[in-house]
Chains A and B, each alone.
Chain A
């Protein structure tokens, strides 16, 4: 286990280093620098030069990169050009939206998909299964933003139960904030649930055909024990893999849903930052996302070990 952790940690550092070089170089050669965007259609060579000097963009690639890495290592990080606050603070405040949004969405997805998937597998090819499969097919074909807008039209515009979007902030109103995340996380969760339901079903069907399950039935165990104790654990391995990928994606921010519900999440931040060429923000978010994906994968690995004792983390 220790060896495993050390190896993971080294991978993390090497990977983050590579990501930092890549993201820095890509943004460096990207046409349009922050000064050009800021001055826009009024840019003159003089004001451009002044602003570049003020933003430190007139220095060489190496110096700029070294400055950036230096600021990261000392824990200060850089300042956002457009927002004029430390990027760390910005990421933290956005995580306060994106994190709970992702967690709610995954909760919805799991709560919907596991029972449905198991149910469908237990009733393969019966009417119940057909109905579940029909709806998951529909869910897979539904674009997120469309479902998002539909929910707004119903719950906010028509019935007035929710606001159409926005986020008051946890410190302003805890319940208001939780409520603001309900519709968007439901929209995200339902669509992810479709994939997970199908996956749970097929994985379950496969496991239910295994010899050890037949043995369990033959021993005369109750259905509940066979399905939930013996079969489910093994059936969950592919589900956890996909779930991990989904969490990774959601932590990177659900740009489309964040736009529809105008939530101040990570996805919108990075989207806006690219448009504004707020390079410090883009760089540090990309780094953060890379770290988050690596971390989630690590959790998934740990979960494998719990679900299947044959998996050893070495």
Chain B
């Protein structure tokens, strides 16, 4: 028996490594995707919850612009666009003949209506500011959309590629919360509340080649061990975003499954109240930055998955500037800075973590230990998510908390002194304004880099890690996105190997 085992083990070493290219996509098949959170409604333009975008955006709803798994900007409902030399006028040529799942046509008028709805006074769009930079919208031809901006906005295009800018139909938009109708490759079939959302192939999709799958089902399984058991029992095909990285490690060893270790836009930070004692002292924040060992956080709390960050920017995104060296892990320096700040023996503070996001608790435990080495004694408290939003985020009644900022391109939050970090820097605001108005790619890179440098230097928050994407799936699932440059779980090009 032992001998047999030995032979088997020896054999596995000599087996050829499975080819990465898996051949040509085949059509057909059903895919079942596990998702931890059930979306609160299915309208991405009315609610900020990431769970909504994960299910419907890119699958049911589309935007003018698309982003691929490498973060590259691609044509979506707009097949091409050009930007005037002053950077203020965007002319989109829309795809002709695009139909909604209910038969309504998509054209420039519909796009205009969507944009005006998002920026209007009664908007409940989570991001009306994305659209309010628009001065006027013209529709010179059926499929030509001409948008004039009040001012140059370097992020306008990427904002048009986010779920908030989804294009809803004029007649069919009213029930979007419970019966979404879009132009995407899949149409909404059924929502069994508490259990699953079913999407089926839309035969009238503007790209006749796509999608490959006949049906996609999103099942809502919040418990991490239940997700794993369901995958192992064959009930589901993909865990879109695994809750426990150590399970990913286990599943990666099993040949029936594969784990994609990609990047996401989620920056996990130790959010710090810059107006609260003693964190209003730059030296204290610098000392804390020196006391954080990101490698250890990744190893202990994330089972080795994740990438260190030194500022509020994902390494996978364009214009990334590496700031991880600003305050290297150095306990002596940390202690010295604390002494200079007037806390030679450290201090006590409260770290509040929302257990709704399990990683905050895990990372929190590691941080408590790391800070104790320089005399900073953190008391870790659990806080329910609703209270987190109210007390920490809106009322700013906190000292420290941990959270992943999931949105891409969100460094602008540091320009708002009323944001819950309470960071107030004219220097940053100037740099950010320059970045937004940068006329060229070089200038953009320069000024977005500068914004990253300023907040890294000011140690506004403890910049920890960029969260891994970590989708786990059956080996035959092909075309699943490795990186998550957006919060969508785009199934357009996913297929099943027979």
Residue positions of A touching B, CB distance < 8 A: 30-33, 36-44, 46-47, 50-51, 54, 81-85, 90, 93-94, 149, 152-153, 156-157, 160, 163-167, 169, 259-265, 268-269, 272, 274-278
Contact = CB atoms under 8 A, between A and B. Distances in A.
Contacts of A268: 194
A262 B219 contact: yes
B122 interface: yes
A297 to B, nearest CB: 28
Contacts of A39: 47-48, 126
Interface of B: 38, 40-41, 46-49, 122-129, 175, 177-178, 192-196, 219-223, 225-226, 229-230, 232-235, 356, 384-391, 393-394, 403, 405
B48 A38 contact: yes
B220 to A, nearest CB: 7
A267 to B, nearest CB: 10
Contacts of A262: 195, 219-223, 226, 230
A165 B230 contact: yes
Contact of B193 (A36, A46, A83): A83
A278 B40 contact: yes
A274 B385 CA distance: 10
A202 to B, nearest CB: 36
Nearest to A167: B195
B223 A51 contact: no
5 nearest A-B residue pairs (beta carbon): A264-B194, A32-B386, A82-B40, A164-B233, A31-B390
A156 B219 CA distance: 17
A291 B154 CA distance: 58
A291 to B, nearest CB: 21
A42 B127 CA distance: 7
Contacts of A163: 230, 233, 235
Contact of B393 (A30, A41, A82, A260): A41
Contacts of A276: 40
Nearest to B234: A160
Given A83-B193, A166-B219, A264-B193, A47 B128 contact: yes
Given A37-B385, A264-B194, A259 B123 contact: no
Nearest to B121: A50
A117 B222 CA distance: 37
A277 B47 CA distance: 14
A165 B47 contact: no
Nearest to B194: A264
A38 B49 contact: yes
A162 B233 CA distance: 8
A166 B394 contact: no
B434 to A, nearest CB: 24
B405 A85 contact: no
B235 to A, nearest CB: 5
Contacts of A265: 194
A204 B367 CA distance: 56
Given A36-B394, A43-B394, 4 more contacts: A31-B391, A260-B223, A262-B220, A272-B194
A163 B229 CA distance: 9
Nearest to A258: B194
A178 to B, nearest CB: 16
A31 B386 contact: yes
B229 A259 contact: no
Contact of B232 (A33, A37, A94, A164): A164
14 contacts: A31-B390, A32-B384, A36-B386, A50-B123, A54-B124, A82-B41, A83-B193, A149-B226, A160-B234, A164-B230, A259-B226, A260-B225, A268-B194, A275-B385
